[in-house]
Structure 1
Amino acid sequence: MTTETLDAVVVGGGPAGATAAHELATSGRRVALLDRAGRIKPCGGAIPPRLIRDFAIPDHLIVARITAARMIAPSAREVDMPIEGSGYVGMVDREHFDEFLRVRAAEAGAERHTGSFERIERDADGTAIVVYATKAGDEVRLRARTVIGADGAKSRVAKQEVPVAAKVPCVFAYHEIVESPPDRTGRFDARRCDVFYQGRHSPDFYSWIFPHGPVTSIGTGSAHKGFSLRGSIAELRRTVGLDGQKLIRHEGAPIPMKPARRWDNGRDVVLAGDAAGVVAPASGEGLYYAMVGGQFAAKAVQACLATGDARALRLARKQFMRAHGRVFWILGIMQYFWYSSEKRREKFVSICQDKDVQRLTWESYMNKQLVRRDPWAHLRIFFKDLAHLFGLEQIAARLERPKA
């Protein structure tokens, strides 16, 4: 056991944990970052411009620049959603992206530790002792005034310290990283993400093909027990002509679909990232929200350390939900409603061809906030949604925005 008392131990070295450790170290706090080596989370790897700006992501980590998305309906109908102007969505490879964030935290002063979290113990005065196991099987103990649990969905930190957060419902995601074919081979486009809303590939979520430059992520997710994710990806690869591409690696992991009701233990532990459930419903986007959640967790820990008041740890969830709770609520409704049947998925993809929907969707995604201007566009979308929902396509067509 280390003799010193750290200000914080961050359990988990993904984007949330590495960001939290960087924030604390930059502020002069003594912080340890514990990560389990060799684990890469299945992830499409899309990051919006706001993440790139806010977190100073260097160009060399952007392996592809996506300028359009293609939505594929159950009937195989395709709707393209181009990004207007010069905007793009950056694509990163989590293997290198996460390590960059961990190195940046260490360069700011965080101590890096490698091992598997085991448990939190308490010494005689109640101070937390984070226990982890090294690869050799030895146990190491780190004494800390606070702990940030950023160890992913089904968090072991949450299970021990914030049990309600460990019960968040999850989608299980699986993807395969394959060598990219030459651009424009068949249906493959190196600057476009393909999203499949087809029950045969996912009965309750969606499947994707996301180009990452020299490699491509082909993945899917589902909460249905017994649904074969590997079988789904094998079929998808055959369908789109990518079954012959060399497999580089594959990963699977649970992805939470709802923010936990509580993120702290009221004492000295607060959660961040997947451990707190901050993956956006409907889209499954988690990178931006994980990193913002890591920031909020670090700020809450700072307030707790400065005041000695454990109630300050509540600020992490309170501030996150104030900033993004409405978006999560809307996306949750979308997933519950539009993903519930093939008929509704078909209508959802049909709605995506609307130019107002495309423009407002991209603006909201790229800037990570709801677009409040142009109220007439929102009103048109509302009535067109109702028309599509009730099968009144002729009325929906009349509500289309006039072409310039």
Structure 2
Amino acid sequence: MYDVVVVGGGPSGATAAEDLARSGKSVAMLDRAGRIKPCGGAIPPVAITEFCIPDEQLVAKITTARMISPTGRKVDIPIENGYVGMVDRKDFDEFLRCRAADAGVARFTGTFLRIERGDGTKVIYRDKETREEMALETKLIIGADGARSDVARAEVPGGDTIPYVIAYHEIIEAPTPSEAYDPLRCDVIYDGKISPDFYGWVFPHGTSASVGMGTGIEGVDLKQATADLRMASGLSDCKTLRKEGAPIPLKPLSRWDNGKDVVLAGDAAGVVAPSSGEGIFYAMAGGRAAATAATACLTSGRVKDLQLARKLFMREHKGVFKILGAMQDAYYKSDERRERFVSLCHDIDVQRLTFEAYMHKKLVAKRPLAHIKIGIKNVAHLMGLVNPLRT
């Protein structure tokens, strides 16, 4: 009998499992293993600090972000007084799982099948090695098994209807540094030919790089779009090391628990930032919130305490998600709007406030005049009062 079984061993599940084990709970973590999520791999400083990510896990330290518009306009945004760390999910996720195991978490490898109740609550899975059905008896379950979470679909209202985009990327050998490719710079490409409703990216990973895009529109050829992006970025001749694709959720679920014994975390709960698609920090924060809720429920015996996971997370991050969602709705609809968005990024106040919020995961309350100025510029761009090619 475990106190908690965590289904999923990505950043969210591994964080939840480790936190619970370090608080003295008996924890099992079930993970499929072998799956690598397509991900740019960006880790802001607040994540490095809050989740004790060692420097050796950072394959690159980014000091500049480049925004590229549909017409090829480039806006370089320096990251002042710091950097954004980059990780390779192939190694980073396993590091987190091993750290959880070192804290006392029992690791199991297999595929989640279902939850059975009656004579206790049991997580039924198919063992990877034996291919036999196995059972883990538990008091509570944390579903951290991704955007198309089987736990969420079976247990939580709305878990089967979460909206998402499909992300695809190719890990390539990094080319020689040049104007087109800088190992200290992330490129974000806002171009409808690459993605009609999201964006493409070129993110350095030290000796390799992630090149990819995302879209929620059916019929888009993700592999061809990525090939086009590689050609436009001068990366077509770079050796391809691996290819990965997966759904990325777009909106947090309105409920994260089933009112009995299940609570969700990470992509399963829909916690990926709108507009940016950033997920690692929010996955880990969601895992920590789920662990806190599970601990409260085990201590009090009140299943209502499972609601704390969503309450704690949204109390901290709802404002950022709301602003980013509004920005995506406003600027990702057309190339004309995307051109205006990149033009807006020329503004030094936009650059500073954006990265202060990104680096520390809080809306910046300082410099109210800067906020007013940005608001006026936003309205001017959205109403078509500004020629984006002249700003």
Same fold (TM over 0.5): yes
Which range, TM-score by smaller chain? over 0.9
Tell me how large the CA RMSD over aligned residues is: 1.4
Compared CA separation, residues 9 and 240, structure 1 to 2 (3 A): same
The question of whether the paired residues in 1 share the 8 Å contact of 2:110 and 2:125 is answered with: yes
Task: Please give the per-residue CA displacement for 1:60-88, whole angstroms capped at 9, x wherever unaligned.
Answer: 00000000111111111111111123x10
User: Residue type of the partner of 1:110?
Assistant: V
Partner in structure 2 of residue 307 of structure 1: 300
- State how 1:322-333 maps to structure 2 within 5 Å: 322-333=315-326
Partner in structure 2 of residue 237 of structure 1: 230
Matching of residue 337 in structure 1 with residue 337 in structure 2: no
Partner in structure 1 of residue 107 of structure 2: 112
User: Residue type of the partner of 2:3?
Assistant: D
Deviation at 1:394, TM superposition (A): 7.9
User: Residue type of the partner of 2:215?
Assistant: S
SS at match of 2:204: strand
Please, which runs of 5 or more residues in structure 1 have no aligned partner? none
- State how 1:32-47 maps to structure 2 within 5 Å: 32-47=28-43
Deviation at 1:391, TM superposition (A): 3.1
Deviation at 1:195, TM superposition (A): 0.4
Deviation at 1:37, TM superposition (A): 1.1
The question of whether the paired residues in 1 share the 8 Å contact of 2:340 and 2:388 is answered with: no
The question of whether the paired residues in 2 share the 8 Å contact of 1:165 and 1:261 is answered with: no
Match of 2:314 among 309, 313, 321: 321
- State how 1:4-403 maps to structure 2 within 5 Å: 5-85=1-81, 87-124=82-119, 127-135=120-128, 136-184=130-178, 186-393=179-386
Deviation at 1:34, TM superposition (A): 0.6
Task: Please give the per-residue CA displacement for 1:325-378, whole angstroms capped at 9, x wherever unaligned.
Answer: 111111111111100111110000000010000000010000010000110110
SS at match of 1:165: coil
Please, which runs of 5 or more residues in structure 2 have no aligned partner? none
The question of whether the paired residues in 1 share the 8 Å contact of 2:15 and 2:284 is answered with: yes
Q: How many Å separate the matches in 2 of 1:250 and 1:337?
A: 31
The question of whether the paired residues in 1 share the 8 Å contact of 2:195 and 2:214 is answered with: yes
User: Residue type of the partner of 1:145?
Assistant: K
SS at match of 1:250: strand
The question of whether the paired residues in 2 share the 8 Å contact of 1:388 and 1:396 is answered with: no
- Structure 1 residue ranges (4+ consecutive) displaced by more than 4 angstroms after TM superposition: 394-397
The question of whether the paired residues in 2 share the 8 Å contact of 1:384 and 1:396 is answered with: no
Deviation at 1:198, TM superposition (A): 0.3
Q: How many Å separate the matches in 1 of 2:233 and 2:15?
A: 37
SS at match of 2:28: strand
Q: How many Å separate the matches in 2 of 1:294 and 1:394?
A: 44
Between 14-23 and 128-137, report the one with greater CA deviation: 128-137
Task: Please give the per-residue CA displacement for 1:188-213, whole angstroms capped at 9, x wherever unaligned.
Answer: 00000000000010000000000000
The question of whether the paired residues in 2 share the 8 Å contact of 1:387 and 1:395 is answered with: no
The question of whether the paired residues in 2 share the 8 Å contact of 1:69 and 1:80 is answered with: yes
Q: How many Å separate the matches in 2 of 1:11 and 1:123?
A: 20
Aligned residues: 390
Q: How many Å separate the matches in 2 of 1:83 and 1:155?
A: 35
The question of whether the paired residues in 2 share the 8 Å contact of 1:154 and 1:167 is answered with: no
Task: Please give the per-residue CA displacement for 1:204-232, whole angstroms capped at 9, x wherever unaligned.
Answer: 00000000000000010000001000000
The question of whether the paired residues in 2 share the 8 Å contact of 1:166 and 1:275 is answered with: no
SS at match of 1:90: strand
The question of whether the paired residues in 2 share the 8 Å contact of 1:19 and 1:294 is answered with: yes
TM-score normalized by the length of structure 1: 0.95
Task: Please give the per-residue CA displacement for 1:111-132, whole angstroms capped at 9, x wherever unaligned.
Answer: 00000101001133xx320011
User: Residue type of the partner of 1:30?
Assistant: S
TM-score normalized by the length of structure 2: 0.98
User: Residue type of the partner of 1:81?
Assistant: I
The question of whether the paired residues in 2 share the 8 Å contact of 1:387 and 1:396 is answered with: no
The question of whether the paired residues in 1 share the 8 Å contact of 2:267 and 2:283 is answered with: yes
